[in-house]
Amino acid sequence: MTTSRISGFYKLTLEERRAKLADASQLRPYNLLPFTNGLSAEAADHMIENTIGTFVLPLGIGLNFMVNGRDVLVPMAIEEPSVVAGASFMAKLARSGGGFIATTTEPLMIGQMQVINITNLEEAKFKLYEHKAELLAEADSIDPVLKKFGGGARDLEVRIIDDSPIGGFLVVHLIYDVRDAMGANAVNTACERLAPKVESITGGKVHLRILSNLADRRLARVRCVIPFKELSFEGYSGDQVRDGIIAAYAFAASDPYRAATHNKGIMNGVDAVVIATGNDWRAIEAGAHAYAARSGRYTSLSTWNKDKDGNLVGTLEMPMAVGIIGGATKVHPAAQAAVKLMNVKTASELAEIIVSVGLAQNMAALRALATEGIQRGHMSLHARQVAIAAGASGDMIEKVAAQMVAEKVVRIDRAEEILKSIKG
């Protein structure tokens, strides 16, 4: 059984961490090699155009995560300091309340067809519904592999847009179960294939045929309960921290300026896992923010309240169009290793872990903001990056960073001065 609790992990050397990780995940050390060897330039050359090399990000492990009763070691690819530490610490607190309880809807994606040049929109809409069974049967036959795994066309919906800059047109939504794929290719292919039939039924012209990234039929949900006593630290009582987090959430729930930053914190955790697994983070970002604005006013993706016992309860609900099949998930060796490390067998399981990390990261930011402020924790980690930018290497990095933190001046000019004085 994997354990996600590895004490003192941060104090170990890189080599020691890899050895501990192999032990804790019960994987062979060679399973973890892709995290160091990464993607070869040759493999990269097959992925995009005009390739000249690869761009590498740090990969850290989110610890202490328990999702639906199972320990998970979470690979996180991110350049920003304090995200991995923050998520791991909050996962530890959540663990004391039973961990993260996550669910997903069916993996339904939406493909859109824009039908223009129609004289009677209402009539065309009804005609499409009359031919729904036939259209779905055609869409269903397009991807036999997907069908074999239980996916395929599920529904067809027709919307009328009558106030656009070019006047009225129809939008046909094809609802497609994409199982363990992100699904863009399957859905786009199905839309392109259906277009001629949609044209002959409506007498119009099918213009765009493309997946929607507002994947609101493919949601992941997660909830966690933090016993309020666990929230106390330094001079802050558990009640104080809990109420501070709830008040911070109320700000995000009511104000788009705050909600954007609040949701960015969620995406710190979400994107790190999405990237580590080779998934399309632009798609996830687009879906998240569109979903956050679904009521017409942009708001928080998460909620924070207290239960009858005074414990802190957090929830997060967002679209999660990730796959473990197709796209870069199957091509990038580190993405494959990431999926293996988490021991996920379906895209839904991956989605459940990702939203758990998003909620943990959200809480890390809210807890800091509602108490000592974000800079204290962040700056000590940021100081190391500033020290490196100023030219520090080896032991010097920690020395320069520590002095800047002690002086509470974390700036490149100061880092350069400190470096000069240490060297001199």
- Of residues 44 and 402, the one with the C-beta less far from ligand NAD: 44
Please say which residue, 5 or 193, places its beta carbon nearer to ligand NAD.
Answer: 193
User: Closer CB to ligand NAD, residue 146 or residue 198?
Assistant: 146
CA distance 275 to 322: 10
Shortest Å, Cβ 34 to ligand NAD: 19
- The one catalytic residue in 230, 280, 349, 352 is 280
Which listed residue (80, 199, 239, 372) is catalytic? 80
> What is the rounded CA–CA span in Å between residue 2 and residue 27?
9
Q: The sheet that has 312-319: what strands, in order across it?
A: 70-77, 59-67, 100-104, 219-226, 312-319, 302-306
Across the chain, how many H-helices and E-strands are there? 16, 10
C-alpha closest to that of 106 among 185, 215, 209, 224: 215
Q: Of the two residues 301 and 328, which places its CB atom closer to ligand NAD in the complex? A: 328
Termini Cα distance of the chain: 53
| Residue nearer to ligand NAD on the CB measure, 332 or 382 | 332
CB of 199 to ligand NAD, least distance (A): 22
Q: Smaller CB distance to ligand NAD: residue 142 or 359?
A: 142
Map residue 187 onto helix, strand or coil. Answer: helix
Phi-psi region of 310 (alpha: psi -120 to 50; beta: other; left: phi over 0): left
Minimal distance, residue 165 CB to ligand NAD, in Å: 22
Contacts to ligand NAD by CB under 6 A: 143, 145-146, 149, 151, 178-186, 188, 211, 213, 280, 283, 323, 325-328
Question: Residues 98-113, buried b or exposed e (16+ Cβ, 10 A)?
Answer: ebbbbebbebbbbbbb
CB of 134 vs ligand NAD, minimal distance in Å: 22
Q: Look up tokens 């987090």; give the residue.
A: 245
Q: How far is the CB of 116 from ligand NAD (least distance, A)?
A: 21
**Catalytic residue (one of 264, 330, 340, 399):** 264
For residue 281, the minimal CB distance to ligand NAD (Å) is 9
Listed in sequence order, the residues at least 6 apart from 28 whose beta carbon sits closer than 8 Å to its beta carbon are 22
Whole-angstrom distance, CA of residue 126 vs CA of residue 132: 10
What is d(CA 31, CA 26) in angstroms, rounded to the nearest whole number?
10
User: Smallest distance from the beta carbon of 211 to ligand NAD, in angstroms?
Assistant: 5
Q: Which of 125, 262, 289, 378 is catalytic?
A: 378
207 in catalytic set: no
Q: Is the CB of 147 or the CB of 258 nearer to ligand NAD?
A: 147
Determine whether 80 is an active site residue: yes
* Nearer Cβ to ligand NAD (3/54): 54
Contact (CB, 8 A) for 251 and 142 = no
Strand runs labelled E in 86-151: 100-104, 108-116
Q: What is the amino acid identity at position 7? A: S
The single-letter code of the amino acid at 301 is L
Q: Cα separation of 304 and 224, whole Å?
A: 10
Number of residue whose CB is nearest ligand NAD: 326
Least distance CB 114 / ligand NAD (angstroms): 15
Residue 145 C-beta-side C-alpha neighbours within 13 Å: 7
Ramachandran angles phi, psi of 221, nearest 5°: -130, 145
Q: What distance in Å separates the CA atoms of residue 317 and residue 161, rounded to the nearest whole number?
A: 28
Active-site residue flag, 395: no
Q: Which of 265, 233, 231 is nearest to 249 (CA)?
A: 265
Residue 280: active-site member: yes
| Active site positions, annotated | 80, 264, 280, 378
